[in-house]
Chains A and B, each alone.
Chain A
């Protein structure tokens, strides 16, 4: 095993109930001190993968090593070297914050002196020292999450798993948790795997992002590389109604400086790109070189691409170069066609666009069962500190 790889995963697979392949042959490696993000929609297999890596679930096939310890053959060593902050709260709300930490410390075999010292240390780290003696049920959602992160660190693990760490939290708390994670990673060189469906979170925190969909690795690369694959700018236009779009489109389609054009999904312009590049599901070890990406880019046989899902029939997206300079021309073209544009938006491709382009789906259009939806809703309410209905 390569000494620098803290985590090595080979062809990890989990099949439930004979048919459901929650995780389908995932392979990747993580180097020491890296923050790796698993980005994917609900049901992609992120949590199941973490559950296998943390020895809570037995894989159906495949192997993984954490810090040199095999997850199936040496589970105790694995457990000792990882911390896991779960998606739902796993705190005992009838105990105090300090008691939760003490409990954890004893389970991980810390002696009294070490325990007391570390409890103090982590409480200071997440700024919960003055609330430590209160019952956890009096904590807000953000405080609970901070306590859980504190708890995950108590035994100084080498690897930290964070499952949707900021799900359901307000923007301020999210920022503060992000800063905590980054500080930890810098100061203590903890390797982190975090799962999220928030693309901006993945973008901000992660050294590399693994996009996972339907149990498979779709792509694994740094955020910058991923965004660079979508070359150019995005200009989004809205007009009054669909008829006008049909009128406007041909006038823009034939312009050679327009790389791609399409009709956008409803609501959020951000998530509204169609296939911008041809990436098929690859082995994670194969990352595309710059020249390969270029070749794929030139594969623009289809300029007009439609999206599945809800459409916003009066919205149009263009991928082109030098968006800022093309806007006056676009407005002119529309005016010449007798169409008034309601809005024009210029932006750089975001990870949402990348996600959509590699998976063909909008990350926010969650598929997944009704139960999943209810459960996520409950988690979000929990995170906000609301009582169970």
Chain B
């Protein structure tokens, strides 16, 4: 039986995500702080040692990737929070209500995406203050485009998080998740080193990482250039991949969630 999609349900799930995010101030602050440390210590420290990457200095090169890191972790954990909802029983309240699971998922994705994007914007501001970007009109336009990109990127990863959270039954799998999924996704996304000079196998791994394309997209928006390996249209390729990944992940997440038992 097809259940209608309820705007109220979407709104309220979304609202709940944002309220919960905002109320967990320590968590917000520590994840932002983590990224600041990365930027400051690696960007400045390693930057001096490594020198410029292409025509930008290391800090500028790293910044989009660090923002991407914030987005990645924020969105996946937001999606995986369905497992908490299930364990702590709140999910039952949602499931016994006359709303379709699809509405719940859409709300979750929009909510998770919004909160992760807020985090990304905070990081963007901080990175700008640290001098990572060249202030110019192009940059301003690029920033808006970047926010759009953030929303895009995060929705896909929230979907991934929901898919994982719906199939896990306990918290211990979290450790595994973090180590074997999150960190590789992050490290292979081209945050620390460009794909261009890397050994072949590493390049393959990086090209298989969806986050790579997300970071690439951000880099285009904020710095105006990307990596050489994908050519001058790399922004377009990245955009297409991100959208495709999104569709896939949202579909997967919705499917897994609809099959999950209480």
Contacts and interface: CB of A to CB of B under 8 A. Distances in A.
26 contacts: A54-B96, A56-B92, A56-B95, A56-B96, A56-B262, A74-B1, A84-B92, A86-B89, A88-B89, A89-B88, A91-B90, A92-B16, A92-B20, A93-B88, A94-B20, A95-B20, A99-B19, A102-B12, A104-B97, A106-B11, A107-B93, A107-B98, A108-B98, A109-B8, A109-B98, A151-B93
B160 interface: no
Interface string A305-320: 0000000000000000
A55 B1 CA distance: 13
A221 B36 CA distance: 68
Contact of A107 (B20, B92, B94, B261): B94
A79 interface: yes
Interface of A: 51, 54-57, 73-77, 79-80, 82, 84, 86, 88-95, 99, 102-104, 106-109, 151
Nearest to B7: A106
A151 B93 CA distance: 10
Contacts of B9: 106-107
B98 A95 contact: no
Interface string B74-102: 00000000000000111011111111000
B8 A106 contact: yes
Given A76-B3, A108-B98, 19 more contacts: A51-B262, A57-B262, A79-B96, A79-B98, A86-B92, A86-B93, A89-B88, A90-B88, A90-B92, A90-B93, A91-B90, A92-B90, A95-B19, A102-B12, A103-B12, A106-B12, A107-B94, A108-B97, A109-B98
In the A-B complex, list the 7 residue pairs whose CB atoms are closest, starting with the nearest: A90-B89, A107-B97, A79-B98, A106-B12, A90-B93, A106-B8, A76-B98
A104 B93 contact: yes
Nearest to B10: A106
Contacts of A73: 1
A73 B1 CA distance: 8
Nearest to B23: A94
A95 B18 CA distance: 11
B98 A80 contact: yes
Nearest to B100: A76
Nearest to A135: B23
B227 interface: no
Nearest to A92: B90
Contacts of A90: 88-90, 92-93
Interface of B: 1, 3, 6, 8-9, 11-12, 16, 19-20, 23-24, 88-90, 92-99, 261-262
A39 B16 CA distance: 37
Contacts of B24: 94
Nearest to B261: A57
A143 B20 CA distance: 21
Nearest to A110: B8
A90 B94 CA distance: 9
A68 to B, nearest CB: 16
A103 B16 contact: yes
Contacts of A104: 93, 97
A17 to B, nearest CB: 12
Contacts of B19: 94-95, 99
A73 B95 CA distance: 17
A48 B256 CA distance: 23
Contact of A89 (B89, B94, B96, B262): B89
Contacts of A89: 88-89
Contacts of B6: 107, 109
A20 to B, nearest CB: 14
Contacts of B95: 56
B58 to A, nearest CB: 40
A387 to B, nearest CB: 13
Instruction: Find the residue from B1, B96, B97 having the highest chain A CB count within 10 A.
Output: B96
Nearest to A151: B93
Instruction: Find the residue from A56, A89, A107 having the highest chain B CB count within 10 A.
Output: A107
Given A95-B16, A95-B20, A99-B19, A107 B90 contact: no
A80 B262 CA distance: 19
Contacts of A57: 261-262
Contacts of A92: 16, 20, 90
A86 B11 CA distance: 24
Contacts of A91: 90, 93
A106 B94 CA distance: 11
Contacts of A102: 12
Nearest to A80: B98
